[in-house]
């Protein structure tokens, strides 16, 4: 199994453990650290990063040639859309819908999904391509897992911050590809000079180099 696949499974296991934390259940109906997301809705969105992988692993006869990873983000409307854009509204509604079952049930379901994913990824070829039916294009499986890895790392921090616990510590093989991806997206959005200045020259740093 490749490094990204192993890193994804480590992050997914950490996310499942976080979803089962008593602090998450205790704050389920409260507002989260993300605007217009409840803690439960944010937990549902985090869990969805496992469900997405589970959904695409069955082979699709209509799979298209994969597009580059950066194009995946530049083609996704939510990336630069406002909170009220239909794409972001759908994301929030989806998280809340997944969370409607409650904290304990969600954590249990995600453990089952993780078991299926873990077993399935062992048999996937290195050149596997998956079709993202909700977007209408395809990605290399490892590129898609990297997008889900990033989402898990970012939203695990959001969820932990929302309920007043420490952000889960993840090993370098998990964190490094996420930092690399976010840096590449930041450079694509703001330009290399802005990113370099922010990392090296605080007095000339722009207001933000956020990847999203």
The list of the chain residues with pLDDT below 50 reads: none
State residue 1's pLDDT score. 67
> Which residue in the block uniquely carries the two structure tokens 């406002």?
82
For residue 159, the tally of other CB atoms under 10 A from its CB is 28
Regarding the domain with residue range 3-168, which homologous superfamily does it belong to in the CATH classification?
dinb family like domain (1.20.120.450)
State residue 78's pLDDT score. 64
State residue 171's pLDDT score. 98
In degrees to the nearest 10, what's the CA dihedral of 90, 91, 95, 96? -40
State residue 63's pLDDT score. 83
State residue 89's pLDDT score. 78
State residue 152's pLDDT score. 98
Mean of pLDDT over the chain: 93
State residue 120's pLDDT score. 96
Residue 23 tokens, joined: 């602090």
pLDDT digits (tens, 9 = 90+) for 143-195: 999 999 999 999 999 999 999 999 999 999 999 999 999 999 999 999 999 99
**Ordered DSSP codes for 191-211:** -HHHHHHHHH-GGG--S----
State residue 73's pLDDT score. 93
User: What DSSP designation does 33 have?
Assistant: S
Domain ranges in the chain are 3-168
State residue 81's pLDDT score. 62
Residue among 3, 31, 21 nearest 145 (CA): 3
- pTM for the complete prediction? 0.93
Task: Please give the sequence-ordered ranges of beta strands (E in DSSP) within the chain, or none if there are none.
Answer: 129-132, 137-140
């Amino acid at each position: 199994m490749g490094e990204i696949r192993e890193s994804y499974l480590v992050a997914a296991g950490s996310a499942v453990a976080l979803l089962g934390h008593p602090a998450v259940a205790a704050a389920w109906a409260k507002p989260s650290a993300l605007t217009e997301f409840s803690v439960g809705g944010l937990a549902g969105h985090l869990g969805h990063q496992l469900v997405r992988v589970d959904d695409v692993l069955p082979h699709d006869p209509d799979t298209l040639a994969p597009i580059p990873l950066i194009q995946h983000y530049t083609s996704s409307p939510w990336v630069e859309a406002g909170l009220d854009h239909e794409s972001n509204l759908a994301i929030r509604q989806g998280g809340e819908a997944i969370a409607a079952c409650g904290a304990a049930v969600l954590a249990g379901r995600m453990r089952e999904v993780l078991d299926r994913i873990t077993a399935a990824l062992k048999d996937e070829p290195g050149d596997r391509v998956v079709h993202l039916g909700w977007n209408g294009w395809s990605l290399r499986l490892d590129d898609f897992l990297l997008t889900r890895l990033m989402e898990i790392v970012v939203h695990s921090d959001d969820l932990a911050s929302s309920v007043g616990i420490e952000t889960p510590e993840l090993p370098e093989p998990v964190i490094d590809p996420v930092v690399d991806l976010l840096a590449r997206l930041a450079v694509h959005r703001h330009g290399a000079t802005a990113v370099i200045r922010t990392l090296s020259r605080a007095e000339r740093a722009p207001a933000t180099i956020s990847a999203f």
